[in-house]
Structure 1
Amino acid sequence: MDGALTDVGLPIALGIIMLGLGLDLTLADFRRVGAHPRAVVVALACQLVLLPAVCFGLVVLLDLPPLLGIGLMLLAASPGGTTANLFSHLFRGDVALNITLTAINSVIAVVTLPLITSLAIAFYDRGDDVSMPLVEVVKVFALILLPVGLGMAVRAARPAFAARMDRPVRIASAVILAVLVLGILLAEREDVGGYLRDVGPAAALFCALSLLVGYAVPRAAGVTERQAIACSMEIGVHNATLAIFVAENVLGESEIAVPAAVYSLVMFAFAALWGSWVSRRVAPQPSERASTSAT
């Protein structure tokens, strides 16, 4: 990818997205775990343990090339983001649970993302040419956590301003991700056809499995429908911008960013189709009934 986009554009893009996440958060979101302990524990177990295991199975089963396999594992280790909260809102999920999961996952990922990615690098024995230096990892998560903290401070001091900025920041996040995906595909245009053949089926299958597992496992554990939809979106809609940033600025390999870019192409369509189907199982809330009868 172009040096200016990688060195300047990507950090700014990730900072804007994480600032937007912070504008949605309060300290109460971290404390809310006690209100929904089962849903939080089950969702975190799916996202931190089960989904990376499923992803690794796909990587091995489909015999992905090393850098693409590492990239898909990096994506699996990336937490959910503000887009997951939006999809949960659209399809009658428990958005408060989404916000709590995103908050907790963004902190836990400081440890789990480099750990899972390093294990993938070791599996492919690519430690000589691909590595995750500790200093760079610290910089990445400073870039994640500082804007989140700033957003939370703004939310606490100026809640009306934070509410007004919610929609513009969400739109900016979607546009930023689209630009990043386009940039990656253009940078890899000579090989993009082969990459799509190699990683396209794996990315699509992983997305479908993420959404399905994120719903079915919590439901089997006794979680409510609305909470299960929230878990499904949180687990299936990854922070692809973070995965792209790590691939480009930490690992220094555009090819590792390709799975996140391809996943982004199918993620929105799959989440919308899945959400429209599964939300039919949830009874409208009183406010929704009132607005419907008013029209």
Structure 2
Amino acid sequence: MDSALSTIGLPIALAIIMFGLGLDLTVGDFRRVGRHPKAVLVALGCQLLLLPAACFGLVLLFDLPPLLGIGMMLLAASPGGTTANLFSHLFRGDVALNITLTAINTIVAIGTLPPITNLTIRWFDQSDSVSMPLVEVVKVFVLILVPVGLGMVVRARRADFAARMDRPVRAGSAVILAVLILGILLDQRDDVGDYLADVGLIAAIFCALSLVVGYVVPRAAGVAGDQAIASSFEIGVHNGTLAIFVAVEVLDSVEISVPAAVYSLLMFFLAAGWGAVISRRVAERDTQRVAG
């Protein structure tokens, strides 16, 4: 990838996206956990425990090369992105719960993403070629927390401005992600066919599995339909930009970013199709309940 794009553009892109996330957040979003503890705890359990374990199983099943395997686990350890809120809104999910989960997931990921990634690096015996030292962990921490905090301050002091900026920032985030994906694919154009063959199927399976687990497990735990939809998208729509940033800037490997780039392409189609299915099911169930 072009050095200017990776060393300057990528951190700025991540900061803009995290700032946009902050514009959606208030302190009350963190307090809302007390009102919906079951939905939040079940979703976090899926995000932090089930999905990394499932992803690691897929990595072993597909016998991925080490760097691509690390990239898949880095993706699994990444929190939900702002796109999850958009999908939840489109398909009748509890967007307030989405915002709460995104806020908590983003903060929790600062502590969970480095150890999951480092354990995977050690598993593949790649410690000599890639590493995630403390100084780089601090960099990730700053690039997540500071823009989110600034966005929250702006929201608290200028709610009207935050509301006006919501749509432009979301659109800009999508454009930024598209540019990053294009940059990665161009940088790796000589091997892109092999990468798609290696990770295309596993990325699609992981995305589909994330979406289904994010819905089915909360429903089985007695979580309401609209909250289960929110959980599904929060768990199924990972922050690909963060995964790409960590791969390129922290681990210094464009190849590790390939799974996140491929996943981000496939995710839009899979999430849209899944959203149409589950929102219809929830609507039909609500209609039957009213009729009954």
TM beyond 0.5? yes
Q: What secondary structure sits across from 1:283 in the alignment?
A: helix
State the match for 1:126 in structure 2: 126
- CA shift at 1:138, angstroms? 0.4
Q: Report the TM-score when normalising by structure 2.
A: 0.96
CA distance in 1, matches of 2:60, 2:281: 35
State the match for 1:138 in structure 2: 138
State the match for 1:154 in structure 2: 154
- CA shift at 1:91, angstroms? 0.2
Within-5 A mapping of 1:1-295: 1-283=1-283
CA distance in 2, matches of 1:250, 1:283: 44
- CA shift at 1:142, angstroms? 0.3
CA distance in 2, matches of 1:203, 1:123: 20
What is the letter of the counterpart of residue 152 of structure 1?
M
- CA shift at 1:281, angstroms? 2.1
Q: Report the TM-score when normalising by structure 1.
A: 0.96
- CA shift at 1:103, angstroms? 0.3
- CA shift at 1:282, angstroms? 2.5
What is the letter of the counterpart of residue 201 of structure 1?
L
Runs of 4+ in 1 over 3 A off after TM superposition: none
Q: What is the count of residue pairs matched by the alignment? A: 285
CA distance in 2, matches of 1:143, 1:274: 31
CA distance in 1, matches of 2:281, 2:158: 37
Q: Structure 2 unaligned segments of length 5 or more: list them.
A: 285-292
Q: Structure 1 unaligned segments of length 5 or more: list them.
A: 285-295
CA distance in 1, matches of 2:82, 2:251: 25
Any idea what the Cα deviations from partners look like across 1:81-122, whole Å, max 9, x if unmatched? 110000000000000100000000110011100011011101
Q: What secondary structure sits across from 2:63 in the alignment?
A: coil
CA distance in 2, matches of 1:239, 1:251: 17
Identity of aligned residues (%): 75
Q: What secondary structure sits across from 1:17 in the alignment?
A: helix
Coordinate RMSD, CA, aligned: 1.0
- CA shift at 1:137, angstroms? 1.0
Q: What secondary structure sits across from 2:283 in the alignment?
A: coil
Any idea what the Cα deviations from partners look like across 1:232-253, whole Å, max 9, x if unmatched? 0000000000000000000000
